[in-house]
Amino acid sequence: MSVVRPLLGPPVPGPRALWRAGGRRGVTAAVCLAVALGTGAALGRVDLGSAAALASFTAVYGHALPYRRRAGVVAAVGAVLVASSALGALTAGHPVALVLGCAALAAAAVAAGVVWRVGPPGPLGVVLVAGGSSALGTAPGGTGPHVLAAAAGAALAWAGCMLPWLWDPSGPERRALEAAEAAVGGSPAGAARAVRLADVAVRGGSRRGRADLRRRLGDVEARFLAALPDAVPDAGAAAPPGPAPARWWHVPAAATALRLGAGGAAAGLAAVALGLASPYWAVTTAVGVQLGTDARATRARGLQRALGTAVGVLLAGVLVALDLPLPAAIATAALLQLVVELLVAAQYVLAVSFITPLALLLVHLGNPATTAGGLVAERLAETGVGVVAALAAGLALLPRASSRRLPAAVREVTAAGAAADDRRLHAALDHLAEVSAGARAELLPTPAVTAGVHRARAVADLGWALLGARARGDGPLAAELARRLAAGQPAS
């Protein structure tokens, strides 16, 4: 069982938990994909329908955001996916240019995602759209219609993401609060994240019903504060504070972007050198493996990606060999999209097992020249290349970029808490979250890194709680939290 669990991941949650995690997002994405493909089929241009369906992946972004912020973020994501689709169409006959372009897009998407806090699935959608578009066989003169179809698919997805605002304008804020209310009795780390997301949603969301939501937020924060530790754990001598590196490439976002881009480029170029048919799939695999949230997840994702892709490729081969009627194929693609969104947060192996046939089915519908014969062997080989390149990049490129900055990021939070400057404290907490995420994802963490991450989590919990207490004007509680935060400051 100890060997099987890393391969299979956690058990699948119940239907209600799956719906809460991805039901609304899955239905929106599935409907947008079906409409895009169906419109292309009705016009006699299934290839353009596939281009629009790939760009409709825009619909999986931004569902946790309040509508005011969602409108801008999803529009920006849609524009990026349309640009990715154009890149794929233009470089279809030039595999080296394609893989380098996909790798550069992935690196840029990582950096942009950190700056604008876009959230999952991050750069994976960008690479998948660019690569899938390259496989549609668009003729040089057909790039214009291809890009217009992609733009229509992205616009449809934006409308689908914004549509619930008409009848539930404060829905994202309310759901974030419900998640926080359910989380405050659980682990401190999960509760802290849920409370933070609820705070951001309520403060940046619709003005309708805000007073009631603020009251509920205050109650949730009070329950969370009561469970906070009395003191910050000492990292001990294993994690001495040191100066943060001044080099720009040691900034966590830059280091992650560099690893992701280099790993993707190496995977794609290796696939080209080996003569594999779809090197973009190797790039996609390399990007997906490197998106783990901690060291164990990153290592496990390599195995899970390989296993999930193997199952998914076999399923795709069956679907292609069945040669389904077009309406049935469209319905199957929409169902696969729904299942992916339901599973992706909870069960990565199964999600990959369904996203693989989804991507391949969209390409096959737009370019029926692809056959089931070489599909299985090619995709498995490309997946293997991508996994190896991703793990090599994670081990070789700036493997300690984030953990080196962790002590300084913790000190900045404690200093900002003592300074009673909420803007400075908020910025310091955001930076600490970014650095901690990078440190957790390092492939071979030392005991010092593990201790430092544990301490950083406790400091972040106290820091976010301090911001909440100050926002409510609770002076005594804010003073007590500031005291706890300062008490955990190590000597410089």
SS3 at position 462: helix
Predicted pLDDT of residue 203: 65
Can you give the pLDDT at residue 153?
A: 98
- Residue 326: count other Cβ atoms within 10 Å of its Cβ: 14
Residue 477 DSSP SS3:
helix
Mean pLDDT of the chain: 81
Question: Residue 261 — very low, low, confident or very high, per pLDDT cuts 50/70/90?
Answer: very high
Contact yes or no for 130/280 (Cβ under 8 A)? yes
Lowest-confidence pick of 86-95, 100-109, 173-182:
173-182
Structure tokens at 137: 């066989």
Tell me the mean pLDDT in the region 180-198: 58
Is residue 3 over pLDDT 60?
no
Q: Is the pLDDT of residue 22 over 90?
A: no
Query: Which of 170-179, 307-316, 481-490 is modeled with the greatest confidence?
Result: 307-316
Angle at 477 between CA 476 and CA 483, to 5 degrees: 90
* Residue 409 placed within a domain: no
Task: Give the separation between CA 355 and CA 10, rounded to whole angstroms.
Answer: 18
- In 3-state terms the chain splits into helix, strand, coil percentages (rounded to 5) of 75, 0, 25
171 occurs within a structural domain: no
Q: Compute the distance between CA of residue 19 and CA of residue 490 in angstroms, rounded to an integer.
A: 44
- Tell me which DSSP letter residue 237 carries: G
Q: What is the pLDDT, as a whole number, of residue 240?
A: 42
CA dihedral 119, 121, 126, 128 (to 10 degrees): 180
DSSP 3-state assignment of 19? helix
44: left (phi over 0), alpha (psi -120 to 50) or beta: left
pLDDT digits (tens, 9 = 90+) for 385-427: 998 898 888 777 766 667 777 888 888 888 888 887 788 888 8
Between CA 112 and CA 115 the distance in angstroms is 5
Lowest-confidence region among 84-93, 157-166, 353-362, 478-487: 478-487
Q: Name, of 185-189, 227-231, 432-436, the range with top average pLDDT.
A: 432-436
Residue 210 lies in a domain: no
Domains in the chain: how many in total? Answer: 1
Q: Which residues of 147-173 are buried (b: 16+ CB within 10 A; e: fewer)?
A: bebbbbbbbbbbebbbeebeeebbbbb
Tell me, yes or no, whether 481 lies in a domain.
no
156 part of a folded domain: yes
Residue 31 belongs to domain spanning: 4-164+252-396
Residues sharing a CB contact under 8 Å with residue 393, sequence separation 6 or more, in sequence order: 259, 260, 262, 263, 266, 286, 290
Residue 82 lies in a domain: yes
Any domain includes 277: yes
Q: What is the model's pLDDT at position 490?
A: 44
In whole angstroms, what is the distance from residue 306 CA to residue 353 CA?
10
* Selection from 48, 39, 137, 127 nearest residue 370 by Cα: 137
The three state secondary structure string of 65-98 is CCHHHHHHHHHHHHHHHHHHHHHHHHCCCCHHHH
Better-predicted residue by pLDDT, 50 or 376: 50
Q: Is residue 234 part of a domain?
A: no
> What pTM was estimated for this model as a whole?
0.79
